[in-house]
Amino acid sequence: MRSFHTEVVVCIATILCLSGCQSNSQQRVYHNEKLQCEDNWRVTGYYTPIEKDYGVSPYKQVTLKTGESHKFKVNFVNAVRIEGWGKTRFGWYLGYFSGNWHKSPAPLNSMGKTLNVGEVAVDTSRIPKLSTVFIPNVQPYLQRTTFIATDVGSAIKQKHVDVYTGEGEKAKLTTYAITGNHQVCFGENEKTVSL
């Protein structure tokens, strides 16, 4: 849960970026916290596929890192390889990272905590983990502009932010809607956020 002070900073920072971060790169300062706003960031989305959403498909045997083995629809397995996690027909989540398959009661971010809408994957050499990230142009699709950097991905490099959109087909369509070049603002060293 975020502190009241962080909520105020988030609100003020969002207003600053919406009204004042129009150049290619600007800095704003609020209560000794610098906000970096830059245009032309690659924004994409990722989601959690649900195995039941996939129609008739051949099955593929998957062996988990623990040695446990299960069969899943091939197209679901392929989607999980791309997206990171998927909800199985058994109700638990299948994950693929570090070259292994994993089982969890919920999809996880790179910190090992439950992945939630409102989190983003970033290149931590550009945006430190737990930074607040503002993406004003995604408001119509996600009803929010403020995100927390909790995740990473092998394809997320430099000026690229990947927004987690949720589970299922609707979330998948949202990933297409938000994909593009957008302005992104982020707070430097904003470590006051707790999840």
Q: What is the DSSP string of 6-64?
A: HHHHHHHHHHHHHHH--SSEEEEEETTEEEEEEEEEEEEEEEE-BGGGS-S--EEEEEB
What local confidence, expressed as pLDDT, does residue 29 receive? 43
**Residue from 115, 71, 4 nearest 104 by CA:** 115
Mean per-residue pLDDT for 39-56? 96
What confidence tens digit (pLDDT) does each residue in 129-173 have?
Answer: 999 999 999 999 999 999 999 999 989 999 999 999 999 999 999
Quote the pTM value.
0.81
Q: How confident is the model at residue 35 (pLDDT cuts 50, 70, 90)?
A: confident
Is a pLDDT exceeding 50 seen at residue 128?
yes
Is a pLDDT exceeding 60 seen at residue 192?
no
Is a pLDDT exceeding 50 seen at residue 126?
yes
Return the structure tokens found at 42.
Answer: 């690659």
Residue 118, CA distances (Å) to 27, 148, 165 in order: 23, 6, 8
Q: What percent of the chain has pLDDT over 90?
A: 75
**Cβ contacts of residue 37 below 8 Å, gap of 6+?**
16, 17, 21, 25, 26, 27, 28, 134, 183, 184, 185
Phi-psi map region of 55: left, alpha, beta (phi>0 left; psi -120 to 50 alpha):
beta
What confidence tens digit (pLDDT) does each residue in 50-106 have?
Answer: 999 999 889 999 999 999 999 999 999 999 999 999 999 999 999 999 999 999 999
- What domains appear along the chain, each with residue ranges and CATH number? 4-47+115-187 (2.40.40.10), 51-104 (no CATH)
Q: How confident is the model at residue 33 (pLDDT cuts 50, 70, 90)?
A: low
H-helix or E-strand containing 172? helix 168-178
Contact between 129 and 189 (Cβ < 8 Å): no
